[in-house]
Amino acid sequence: MILPALAAGFGVAVTLVSTSPFSVQAQDAAPEAAQSFNAPAAEPPPPDPAAELAAKRDQTRAELETLSKTISLSSDKVSELQQSISNLEKNTQSIRQALIDSAARRKGLETQILESEKKLADLGVKEDGIRRSLHERRGLLAEVLAALQRMGRNPPPALLVTPDDALASVRSAILLGAVVPGMRKKTDKLVADLASLAALQTASAAEKTALTATMADGIEEERRMDLLLAENDKLSRSNAAELEAERKRSEELAGKATSLEGLVASMESEIASVREAAAAARQAEENRKLLTDEQRAQAKALAESGVPDKNRIAPAYPFAELRAKLELPVAGDILRQFGDADGTGHEAMGMTVAANPETVVTAPADGLVVFAGAFRSYGQMIILDVGDGYHLVLSGMDTINTRQGKFVFSGEPLAVMGAKRVASATALALETDRPTLYIEFRKDGKPVDSRPWWTAKDTGKARNDS
C-alpha cells in the first residue's frame, strides 16, 4: 500500500505560478516529473568570484561607514579619557611615548576592522551564493512540497481493488524507482545548503557584534590621540610668530621647487628649524660612528627592545640595518608596488596603500621632518630624513599633525587620512575611491624599492579589489 501511495504522490508535475518558491500547481503528468530529475536545466554562466567579492566589500564598507556614524562616546567615557591624560606626567617624553602607544593601539584596531570587513564580505559572498542556488532550485522545492501535499490529499486506491488500479500501481512503482533516488539526493543537498546558510548568518551576526565593539574602541582611541596631540602641542609650541613665518617661507619654497631634491635642498638651507635639526642629526650620526663595536651593539640592542632614548635627535641606528623591520605607516591594502605601471606609461617610483577613512599615519622609522605641507601634484606631503642618505616621502594625507624641523620616533603619529582618495599624480589609474597613501623611499635623491624594509606581513600585494 505504501509503495503505490508514494508513486502516486510523486507522480505529479509542478508548474510555478508566482514569484514565491512555495506557490505551485499540481497536474497528473508523472513522466514529465521523472524527466525533470534526469535532465537538469542548463545553468547560467557562474559569476566572476573576484568581481563579486569586490562588490560585496564595497557594500560592506559602506555599511560600516554608516555604522561608525552611529557610534559615539558617552560623557563618562570622555571624562575618563580627559582624566587619564591629565594624570600623565607633563613632559615631552611621557606625552610622546603615550602618543606612540596610542598610535600602535589605533593601528591595531584599524587592522582588526579591515580583517573583519574582509571576513564579512567573504561571508556575504557565500550567503549570496547559497541564496542564488536555492533560488535557482525553487522549482525543486515546489515539486517536493507539491508531491508531499498530493500524497496527503489524494491517497491512491488499494492495490487489489481492480486490475486497472493494480496496473497503475505497478507503473507508479517503476516510476518511483527512477524518481526517488534523484529527489532524495537533491533534497539532502537542499537541507545541507539551508543548514550552511543558517551557520553563515550566525557567523555574520557574531562578526558584526565584535566589529561594533572594535569600532567603538577605535573611536575612543582616536579621541585619546586628539587629546594627547593637543597636550603635546602645548609642550612643544615655540614662538607662534616664528612658526608662522617659517610656514609661509616653506610654502614659498615649495611653490618654487620643481623636484623633491630641490625641495629638500631648499628646506635644509633656508628654513632655520630644519637646518639646525639636520645639522644636529648629522653630528649625532658622526658621534655614533665613533662608538666602539661594543657601544654600538648596546645601542642597537636598546633600540630593538623598543625603549630607546626618547631624547635622541638622530635615528637610533643606521637605516640600512632596518631591512625587514619596518611596519607600514598605515593599516590598509597595497594596491601598487615600486616598478608597477603608474597609469601614465611609466613605472611607479613608490608604493600605494589603500586605507579606510580617517586612518592614522605613523612614522615608519625615526627621522627628521624635512617638509610637511602641500607640494604640487603630491598633495599634502611629509618628507622624513632617516639618515644614511635616505629620505621617506609620504603623501595623500588629509590632515598633518607634525611640523618641519621636528625629530619624530618610529610609530609616532604624523597625519590622518581623509574620507576619499585625493586626486594626485601618484594615484592615477587606481580603481578605488578609498583614501590612498603614497610611500616613496629615496637614497641620495634617487627612488629605490621599499619592499626590502617592510616586515614579511607587510610585503604582500593585495589585488585591486576596490
HSE at residue 224, side-chain half, CA atoms within 13 A, is 24
pLDDT tens, residue by residue, 318-332: 788 888 889 999 999
Residues 6+ apart with CB under 8 A from 455: 324, 325, 326, 327
Average pLDDT over residues 49-65: 78
| First vs last C-alpha separation in the chain | 62
- Identify the H or E element spanning 88: none
C-alpha cell at 131: 541564496
CA-to-CA dists, residue 33 to 30, 107, 139, 169, 293, angstroms: 5, 59, 11, 17, 87
SS3 annotation, 368-386: EEEEEEECHHHCEEEEEEE
pLDDT at 173: 58
pLDDT at 34: 41
The residues that bridge with 399 in the sheet, in sequence order, are 416
Alpha-carbon gap, residue 409 to 420, rounded angstroms: 28
Q: Decide if pLDDT at 96 tops 90.
A: no
Q: Which long-range contacts (CB under 8 A, 24 or more apart) does 273-278 make?
A: 273/238, 273/246, 273/403, 273/404, 273/405, 273/406, 274/368, 274/369, 274/370, 274/371, 274/404, 274/405, 276/405, 277/313, 277/368, 277/405, 277/406, 277/407, 278/368, 278/370, 278/385
DSSP at 322: G
Alpha-carbon gap, residue 217 to 102, rounded angstroms: 12
Q: Which is more confident, 334 or 152? A: 334
pLDDT tens, residue by residue, 362-392: 999 999 999 999 998 888 999 999 988 899 9
Q: Decide if pLDDT at 7 tops 60.
A: no
SS3 annotation, 384-396: EEEECCEEEEEEE
Q: Which is more confident, 298 or 425? A: 298
C-alpha cell at 260: 623633491
Distance of CA 268 to the CA centre of its chain: 37
pLDDT-derived band at 27, boundaries 50, 70, 90: very low
pLDDT tens, residue by residue, 174-222: 655 555 666 677 777 777 888 888 888 898 889 888 888 888 888 888 8
Radius of gyration of the chain, Cα coordinates, nearest whole angstrom: 33
C-alpha cell at 296: 654600538
pLDDT at 426: 63
